[in-house]
Structure 1
Amino acid sequence: MKFQTLKILSITALASGMFLSCAQTKTATTSKATTETSTGKAIPTNLKWSERMLLSEMKRFPEAWMLDFFKAPKWSYPNGLVLKGAEEVYKKTGKKEYFDYIKGYADEMVNADGSIKTYDIKKYNIDMLNSGNMLLYLYSVDKQDKYLKALQLLRSQLNDHPRTSEGGFWHKKIYPSQMWLDGLYMGQPFYANYTQLFEKGDSANKAYDDIVNQFDLIQKHLKDPKTGLLYHGWDESKEQAWADKQTGLSPNFWGRAMGWYGMAIVDVLDFLPQNHPERARLISYLNSYSEALVKVQDSKTGLWYQVLDKGGEKGNYLEASASSMFVYTFAKGARKGYLPTSYKTIAKKGYDGIIKNLISVEKDGTVNLNQNCAVAGLGGTPYRSGTYEYYVNEEIRSNDPKGTGPFILASLELEK
């Protein structure tokens, strides 16, 4: 397959020159921020890809609050995603610099009283829970009271978080009556991990049932019976302009949305008790999901498209973050026995496709992951319509943390 030339928007105040897609060049452009914050230290090429990418992220973003190209400290989900990778690399290597990178973010963002900079609980944004996973890890090894208070604050959001009529968490307060696939990853692994660590008896059982219910509702409302793929979002009220007036569904299968969902399942299963009566149902959802994705995997490269089922259409492209997420999900699912062992081979094909087509390495060893969709959503201002044209025309950039984080995690799985 010949890659199509993609129109790529520049990042305001960050881009030095025009971003180019992998269709045009295999050399990733780097932002001014990347150049200015570089330490000049070469990254060894004899390390595993997981560690090389983490070191590259640390070079691009010397402070973890800078991840996602932030100009000021912000509590946000991409930071937690890369720091989950840092946690796993630290556990593997024991190199203190990786632990310090994680702790630096927590200590910048969490105040002595447990309040969190820039976090507003009243916004009821499910995205804000993802970085709580980093705090759960830190508290397990460094029992600082401020970490516990911050964790309790984040967990308390779920007590009053607005829900659909069947108990599904809204994606955000500003997106009423809506469940997005993204939200399952943002909220449920944190919810399950917190429950395992801090709750007992009936309280824990109710929480686990609540977690499983989120996946049940996604399967009930967002799964396409024809393809097995899942739509990006669902509006119970059917009031949004993007929502089908009969089903409430958004119109397309966005790659990264399904990536979030798969990672959510395999990560929640780490914490859901082995004897939970609905555990097998979650695993069945993972198998159905995986079978549908294999059917839309690009046969030549092993990668997946931005809009999953429209690979041959104008403007569509092979997208790095979703491909990394699927590789992670398949590799972990196969390792844990949730998926047939054949999925490790499928994951390896996808991973090799990422290395061959989407990775570039600079002279100093810095690793770039190219061709990531920067962001996509539904509704909001300016209004995001969920059309095919919308998804393929969103900004594309190198080294988006929503790609580099899953790439680190996928690498670790395949390095085991």
Structure 2
Amino acid sequence: YKRQKQYHGHERYLQDAKTNLYYHGWDHIAQSNMSAIHWARGNAWAALTMARALELVPVTHPSFMIIDGSLRDQLSSLVRLQDPSGLWHTIVDDAASPLETSGSAGIATALLSRGRLYNKYLQTSIEGILARITEDGTVLGVSAGTAVMDDAEGYRNVPDKRIQGWGQGLALAFLAAVLNAQKGLFGNGC
């Protein structure tokens, strides 16, 4: 029950009713979304969490349809914002912000959870994400730790030159999901 309550709180306070995207933060005292930024990695974590929850919550449970609808609406918005490179911007609805690999990998992993529905977008994501992984496995273009910033400019200036564990992890989650999907398509993976 606590987990469902936490999820529904996130949806209530963080999912933008107009865009279906998730805001980066919420200030309960001020009753505002602070900088009102739709941050890529935050949207990735929300989408991944919902995709995983749908694997665990029985379809007959009242929360299932709410989570499924929230994820469907969010992903429908996100695919419209995908850059031609296959990645998403640090601020998903701001093309002036840098492309960001970890958020893109998380979003693409959630898209993959929906079966073939988003294949067109997944193909470009695979290419875009692989282009940011070096021969030694380093994932490039991953934003450093990102607090809720005052404005969009703060997000645009977050450094992305160092190796970040969450970038490596989200890229691995995406690649594992791609391999699992291929295994399902081709039987034993051959």
Taking structure 1 as the reference length, the TM-score comes to 0.41
Check if 1:268 corresponds to 2:53.
Answer: yes
Q: Distance in 2 between matches of 1:304 and 1:405?
A: 17
RMSD value over aligned CA atoms? 1.7
Structure 1, unmatched stretches of 5+, are 1-206, 239-246, 336-340, 379-384
Q: Which residue of 2 aligns with 1:224?
A: 16
1:397: Cα distance to partner? 2.8
Q: Which residue of 2 aligns with 1:34?
A: none
1:406: Cα distance to partner? 1.2
Residues 93-112 of structure 1: pairs in structure 2 closer than 5 A: none
1:331: Cα distance to partner? 0.6
8 Å CA contact 1:326, 1:347 repeated in 2: no
Count of residue pairs the alignment pairs up: 179
Q: Which residue of 2 aligns with 1:91?
A: none
- Aligned with 1:343 (options 105, 118, 139): 118
Letter in 1 for 2:41: R
Check if 1:375 corresponds to 2:167.
Answer: no
Check if 1:318 corresponds to 2:99.
Answer: yes
Check if 1:297 corresponds to 2:82.
Answer: yes
- Aligned with 2:67 (options 277, 282, 292): 282
Residues 2-401 of structure 1: pairs in structure 2 closer than 5 A: 207=1, 210-238=2-30, 247-251=31-35, 252-298=37-83, 300-311=84-95, 313=96, 316-332=97-113, 334-335=114-115, 341-356=116-131, 358-361=132-135, 366-378=136-148, 385-401=149-165
Task: Say if 1:271 and 1:414 are closer, same or farther in 2 by CA, change over 3 A.
Answer: same
Q: Distance in 2 between matches of 1:268 and 1:342?
A: 19
Write the deviation string for residues 228-277 of structure 1: whole angstroms up to 9, x where unpaired: 21211111111xxxxxxxx4112211111111111111122232234312
More displaced 10-residue stretch of structure 1: 261-270 or 288-297: 261-270
Q: Distance in 1 between matches of 2:120 and 2:80?
A: 15
The structure number with the bigger radius of gyration is 1
Between the aligned residues of both structures, percent identity stands at 23
Q: Which residue of 2 aligns with 1:71?
A: none
